[in-house]
């Protein structure tokens, strides 16, 4: 008995080692799920704070680029405004009585943007995550879609009070329902872990027509993203078959290496869609 105790005390570092490894693997196992631990992620207050300090330094370094992008964006929007004004004037000139355009109040566009800043970002790893500086207090919740000026980024994986973590397109755990803008065939986008500029579109039916450079947009089937948001362009003519489906290489529209400002999409009708989808599944 004493020998056994002696042995246990002498080898206690190995027992501690085993114990701590078990803890780590529990963490790995539990966090491989889609929902993640808030305390141990960059969405907690301390890591978020340090990240946002580093982010503010970095944002000063990027101001020039940011400015350029913003003024370009401003330009396109102004052009659009001018076009619309022009159209309204044409209509006014056309009709004898133009009482102004009143949108149908029952037809509300169910999406709204919340803008946020990237606090920390990774594009280099296999399981990439992006931390942003808005949380539940700014009504950002889990499963909301996130986009940038360029295109789709991902969905909110964890939301804390002031920070949240986004699971981007370049995370192999994330799948996004997409369609080809030109031909409307839809497939599922999933990243293969190698290159942050490219992803793959799977499960495209074999009779689908496509050519290099075709635009890939969100399908809008998921209630997370509205339909028609830019995702990327088909990067090559070469396709791989598996079973009866194509998989295509897509060049992503978003450059994940230079993310700075993002927008979170709030969908007012999301609870409704989810509840009716659940109801439909119940009958299976």
Q: How many CA atoms lie within 13 A of 219 on its CB side?
A: 17
Any idea what the Cα angle at residue 178 is, between residues 233 and 259, rounded to 5°? 60
The least CB distance from residue 91 to another protein, in Å, is: 52
* Residues contacting 233, CB < 8 A, separation 6+: 213, 214, 215, 216, 250, 251, 253
Q: Identify the helix (H) or strand (E) that includes residue 233.
A: strand 230-234
- Counting contacts by CB under 8 A, is residue 79 touching another protein? no
| By CB under 8 A, residue 30 contacts another protein | yes
Pick the closer one to another protein by CB: 33 or 93: 33
36 part of the interface to another protein, by CB under 8 A: yes
Q: How far is the CA of 114 from the CAs of 7, 138, 176, 267, in angstroms? A: 60, 8, 21, 11
| C-alpha–C-alpha distance, residues 59 and 61, integer Å | 5
Residue 108: CA count within 13 A, CB half-sphere:
8
Q: Which stretch binds another protein (CB under 8 A): 116-124, 146-154, 207-215, 234-242?
A: 116-124
CB distance 257 to 100 below 8 Å: no
Least distance CB 122 / another protein (angstroms): 6
| Single residue of 32, 62, 240, 275 touching another protein by CB under 8 A | 32
Dihedral of CA atoms 199, 202, 204, 210 in degrees, nearest 10, equals 20
* Residue 52 in contact with another protein, rule: CB under 8 A: no
Among 2, 13, 207, 282, binds another protein (CB under 8 A): 13
What minimum distance in Å lies between the beta carbon of 124 and another protein?
3
**Contact pick of 194, 206, 212, 269 for another protein (by CB under 8 A):** 194
**CA-based torsion, 25, 160, 117, 268: positive or negative:** positive
Give least dist CB 150 to another protein, A.
20
> For another protein, which stretch binds (CB under 8 A), given 9-17, 63-71, 92-100, 234-242?
9-17
| Binds another protein by CB under 8 A, chosen from 45, 84, 88, 124 | 124
Tell me how far, at minimum, the Cβ of 42 lies from another protein, in Å: 5
Q: In angstroms, what is the minimal distance from the CB of 29 to another protein?
A: 8
Three-state DSSP at 141 gives coil
**Shortest Cβ distance from residue 97 to another protein (Å)?**
60
Of 139-178, binders to another protein (CB under 8 A) are 165, 172-173
Q: Is 125 in the site for another protein (CB under 8 A)?
A: yes
Helix H or strand E segment including 92: helix 63-94
- List residues near another protein by CB under 8 A: 12-14, 16-17, 20-21, 23-32, 36-37, 39-42, 44, 47, 50-51, 54, 120-127, 129, 131, 165, 172-173, 192-196
């Amino acid at each position: 008995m004493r020998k056994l105790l002696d042995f246990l005390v002498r080898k206690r570092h190995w027992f501690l080692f085993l114990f701590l490894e078990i803890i780590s693997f529990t963490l790995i196992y539990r966090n491989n799920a889609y929902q993640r631990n808030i305390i141990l992620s960059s969405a907690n207050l301390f890591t978020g704070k340090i990240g946002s300090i580093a982010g503010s330094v970095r944002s000063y370094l990027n101001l020039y680029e940011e400015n350029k992008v913003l003024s370009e964006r401003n330009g396109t929007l102004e052009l659009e405004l001018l076009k619309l004004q022009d159209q309204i004037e044409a209509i006014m000139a056309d009709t004898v009585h133009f009482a102004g355009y009143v949108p149908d109040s029952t037809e509300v566009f169910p999406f709204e943007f919340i803008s946020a800043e990237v606090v920390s970002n990774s594009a280099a790893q296999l399981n990439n995550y992006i931390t942003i500086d808005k949380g539940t207090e700014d009504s950002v919740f889990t499963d909301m879609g996130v986009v940038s000026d360029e295109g789709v980024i991902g969905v909110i994986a964890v939301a804390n009070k002031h920070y949240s973590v986004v699971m981007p397109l370049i995370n192999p755990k994330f799948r996004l329902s997409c369609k080809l803008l030109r031909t409307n065939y839809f497939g599922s986008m999933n990243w293969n872990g190698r290159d942050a500029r490219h992803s793959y579109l799977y499960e495209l039916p074999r009779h689908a027509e496509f050519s290099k450079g075709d635009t890939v947009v969100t399908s809008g089937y998921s209630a997370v993203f509205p339909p028609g948001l830019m995702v990327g362009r088909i990067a090559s003519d070469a396709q791989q078959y598996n079973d009866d489906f194509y998989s295509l290489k897509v060049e992503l529209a978003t450059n994940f290496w230079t993310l700075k400002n993002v927008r979170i999409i709030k969908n007012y009708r999301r609870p409704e869609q989810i509840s009716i989808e659940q109801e439909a599944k119940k009958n299976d």
